[in-house]
A and B are shown apart, each in its own frame.
Chain A
Amino acid sequence: MVDFGFGLVPSSRINLDLFDREKYDKLTAIEPDARICISCGSCTAVCTAGQFAHTSLREALDDILNANPDKALESLRSCQLCGKCAMVCPRGINTRHLILSIIKVYSGE
């Protein structure tokens, strides 16, 4: 077969084949609210830490589902757990526990 070399280019495309189902199940087991986000962005809009550095729970959840947990952790590392996001979330997500759980599950190893 001819190798055209395309395989070497790191794709910027989301690759759902890389999604870590096991870890995600672990996350949803300790915080089931991880499943119910509707990506409205309220959490990110009010975020206290977001004034200083990129912080977004919505994006972190997205990144996890898009098989990019490292980026998710990056979106949460400045979080100050102030709880504003929990106050505005229209789905009533337990955001603070969700954030802690994501960090716990995905920053291990």
Chain B
Amino acid sequence: MRLTNGITILSDAVLVASGFDLFDAVKKEEYGYGIYDQVMTNADLEAYFKTGSDKRVTNPKRIGFVHCVGSRDEKSGCRSCSKVCCATAVKQAIEVKQAFPDSEVFCFYMDLRLFGRHYEDIYLSAQKDHGVRFIRGRVAEVSENHDGTLLVKAENTVAGKPLKVTLDLLVLMSGMRPSVPGKAIGDLLEMPVEEDGYFAVRNGIAAGQRSPLPGVFLAGAATGPKTLPETLADARAAAMEIDRYLTEVFPDARNYKQLVRERW
């Protein structure tokens, strides 16, 4: 293996943990990211929380969160759910509400998918403590008013009526896409990729850390959208697997091929 700094390493096992790319929200043109001034992504907002400065965030009164941007969307070439955006949106909605207590926050969702321990509590807290409004309906069209505010159109599918709302800030919850640099590494190793663009795992989901190629292991979002705890668990599992591989399968050089056949 040759690293970019010129160092060559001979290795017996490789762990591919190439992660994910954030969906480029420019591609969902109807949301106007990169076209309208007051549209940002979840990553932009997170950066704002960190640095405290973003020219789009100037004491907004009405903020909208759009779930599933680039996820669960055939048009964006991604059918799957990105898993983390719902929790992130609810978390960020609370944070926005804390930063601007007199603001109104709307979350436009198709389905709320916050499962696992404590996530429901965050949802509950967003409703109860922070008054975040959840509207079941996907935002479908955004236009800009003369004063730079945004006119957002969706359907309130629970009420069964189309709705429009004027917002000062729109946050797009960009989803996870397979990593493009990761794909380049995969191409070098000739690693098989599934239709969704993520690396294929040997035996479907059961042997989560092994790729179909002997000696190549996978962890984290290289094999699909993962939450942080899942990624951590993946990492530990991969370390264990690799250790087992290096101690049990690999050292027996004579029977290596047979062992790999039997045990990989």
Supposing A38-B110, A42-B140, A50-B162 touch, asked if A92 and B156 sit within 8 A by C-beta, the answer is: no
> Is A59 an interface residue when CB atoms closer than 8 A count as contact?
yes
Majority SS at the chain B contact face: mixed
Contact between B155 and A42 (Cβ–Cβ < 8 Å)? Answer: yes
Contact between B75 and A92 (Cβ–Cβ < 8 Å)? Answer: yes
> Is B157 an interface residue when CB atoms closer than 8 A count as contact?
yes
Contact between B155 and A41 (Cβ–Cβ < 8 Å)? Answer: yes
Q: How far is the CB of B61 from chain A (nearest CB, A)?
A: 22
Contact between A47 and B162 (Cβ–Cβ < 8 Å)? Answer: yes
Closest to B156 in A: A41
State which of B74, B75, B154 has its C-beta within 8 Å of the C-beta of A41.
B154
Contact between A90 and B157 (Cβ–Cβ < 8 Å)? Answer: no
> Is A88 an interface residue when CB atoms closer than 8 A count as contact?
yes
Q: How large is the interface on A (under 10, 10 to 19, 20 to 34, 35 or more residues)?
A: 20 to 34
> Is A56 an interface residue when CB atoms closer than 8 A count as contact?
yes
Contact between B139 and A45 (Cβ–Cβ < 8 Å)? Answer: yes
A42 to B75, CA, bound (A): 13
Closest to A55 in B: B162
Closest to B153 in A: A45
Supposing A39-B157, A56-B155, A59-B160 touch, asked if A45 and B74 sit within 8 A by C-beta, the answer is: no
Contact between B68 and A90 (Cβ–Cβ < 8 Å)? Answer: yes
Contact between A45 and B155 (Cβ–Cβ < 8 Å)? Answer: yes
Contact between B160 and A46 (Cβ–Cβ < 8 Å)? Answer: no
Contact between A40 and B110 (Cβ–Cβ < 8 Å)? Answer: yes
Contact between A58 and B68 (Cβ–Cβ < 8 Å)? Answer: no
> Is B83 an interface residue when CB atoms closer than 8 A count as contact?
no
A91 to B153, CA, bound (A): 19
Supposing A90-B75, A91-B74, A92-B74 touch, asked if A42 and B162 sit within 8 A by C-beta, the answer is: no
Closest to B110 in A: A40
In the complex, chain A residues 28-55 whose Cβ is within 8 Å of any chain B Cβ: 38-47, 50
Q: Which residues of A contact B (CB under 8 A)?
A: 38-47, 50, 56, 58-59, 87-92
A-B contact pairs, 6 of them (CB 8 A): A41-B156, A43-B140, A46-B140, A58-B155, A87-B75, A88-B140
